Chain A
């Protein structure tokens, strides 16, 4: 009797397992997931208190399923230097834009097709495109949409470009004015 109940319980557990795991994995891969921001490269916007209190952000994967981002978005990309790590930076320029770099080997550069130029808000303390160059759009992982922890910093992340870091010549300027 107990054995039968135990077997039924096991069957229910295994059945539930086979439903829960694929659904969870699919949601985390396709919809959104949560991640802690470590480091100071996006100060003062993210992690303003540094190591003592790390922000937790919601990364929207559904938004980037067609690789559509805009200048000023905060995105997470797979690091070109280390494929096991994700880095979170701000998109400064899209493909075709002509920009002035801060500390890259070329002073001025046209962002190649299918690439992005990303920078951390904290200049000088950020490993970003200024060190490894434009990143391919295929490395785009998620769009940071909300800060969800700590509770006093709960907010929706708005798109904003630092004033002096916009593109010099924008390939998409005409489309933006119309839209």
Chain B
């Protein structure tokens, strides 16, 4: 209520007589203004003459308006600026409040989005020929991140992993062997086959299109922590929507279950 306390009472009257949009939109103003007008000593202490005789709950008459006009002419500019300054301050405060609220919502939803993309899953657009015929160029797949965080990636899963030579690129390959598994490092057309064991903490990745895929056969086993997620469903194109198929290459060496341990 600095408006009434600081400025002389004609300011108050003027507001009521010539309502400005910004004052009227304030919820509490009209009520408080009326209350203050009722108290006589406030009006008298202002030192403005003739207005103190009027306006105590009575509707303003022409004399008050006339005096008002005179006073306005003298000091109205400054009061107007003060009012405008206060009005501006109020507007600024409200705008700031709204801006802060907006920032708060953005931060909250940004954090929820981050958690969803990091821990639940994301949509991936694939490009390249290395996973034909399972995944072809411009397919959209959904890769879920839960199994990666729970360490439940299995042999035969198609995964999205960060590229070994450029962490900003991602590759989409199939897991042929987990740590400790035996994998075949020679090509399918070689006569003499060579094998190796996947080291601890690594996986062996190969594309389904063996002829046109650069994978672990060229850059070696990939650390498990580079895996981002497991591709579980294809979403586009519409005619091939559904879960991912088994490996067509037959490169996965199945380990025999140890039945003599029971």
Chain A positions within 8 Å of B, measured between CB atoms, are: 18-19, 21-23, 25-26, 29-30, 67, 78-84, 112-115, 135-140
Contact of B114 with A29 in the complex, beta carbons under 8 Å: yes
Contact of A112 with B111 in the complex, beta carbons under 8 Å: no
Query: What's the minimum C-beta distance from A16 to chain B, rounded to whole angstroms?
Result: 11
By a CB distance below 8 angstroms, the chain B residues around A139 are 223, 225-226
Count of A-B residue pairs with CB < 8 Å? 68
Contact of A23 with B164 in the complex, beta carbons under 8 Å: no
Cα distance A84–B163 when bound, in Å?
20
Determine which of B115, B151, B163 lies in contact with A25 in the assembled complex, contact meaning CB atoms within 8 Å.
B115
Cα distance A26–B200 when bound, in Å?
30
Contact of A78 with B108 in the complex, beta carbons under 8 Å: no
Contact of B111 with A82 in the complex, beta carbons under 8 Å: no
Contact of A25 with B111 in the complex, beta carbons under 8 Å: yes
Contact of B165 with A112 in the complex, beta carbons under 8 Å: yes
Name B119's closest neighbour in chain A (CB-CB): A25
Contact of A114 with B165 in the complex, beta carbons under 8 Å: yes
Cα distance A114–B202 when bound, in Å?
17
Q: A80 with B201: in contact, given A22-B114, A30-B114, A136-B223 (CB under 8 Å)?
A: yes
Name B226's closest neighbour in chain A (CB-CB): A138
Cα distance A114–B225 when bound, in Å?
15
Determine which of B111, B168, B225 lies in contact with A26 in the assembled complex, contact meaning CB atoms within 8 Å.
B111
Cα distance A140–B168 when bound, in Å?
12
By a CB distance below 8 angstroms, the chain B residues around A112 are 165
Flag whether B167 is at the interface (Cβ < 8 A): yes
Contact of A23 with B107 in the complex, beta carbons under 8 Å: yes
By a CB distance below 8 angstroms, the chain B residues around A114 are 163-167
Flag whether B110 is at the interface (Cβ < 8 A): yes
Flag whether B162 is at the interface (Cβ < 8 A): yes
B150-178: contact bitstring with A at CB < 8 Å (1 yes, 0 no)? 01000000000011111110000000000
Contact of A67 with B202 in the complex, beta carbons under 8 Å: no
Contact of A83 with B167 in the complex, beta carbons under 8 Å: no
Name B166's closest neighbour in chain A (CB-CB): A114
Name A85's closest neighbour in chain B (CB-CB): B201
By a CB distance below 8 angstroms, the chain B residues around A22 are 108, 111-112, 114-115
By a CB distance below 8 angstroms, the chain B residues around A23 are 107-108, 111
Contact of B164 with A136 in the complex, beta carbons under 8 Å: yes
In the A-B complex, list the 3 residue pairs whose CB atoms are closest, starting with the nearest. A138-B167, A138-B162, A114-B165
By a CB distance below 8 angstroms, the chain A residues around B225 are 78, 80, 83, 138-139
Flag whether B67 is at the interface (Cβ < 8 A): no
Flag whether B139 is at the interface (Cβ < 8 A): no
Contact of B223 with A67 in the complex, beta carbons under 8 Å: no
Determine which of A18, A29, A82 lies in contact with B201 in the assembled complex, contact meaning CB atoms within 8 Å.
A82
By a CB distance below 8 angstroms, the chain A residues around B44 are none
By a CB distance below 8 angstroms, the chain A residues around B168 are 67
By a CB distance below 8 angstroms, the chain A residues around B202 are 80
Contact of B223 with A78 in the complex, beta carbons under 8 Å: yes
Query: What's the minimum C-beta distance from A10 to chain B, rounded to whole angstroms?
Result: 20
By a CB distance below 8 angstroms, the chain A residues around B118 are 29
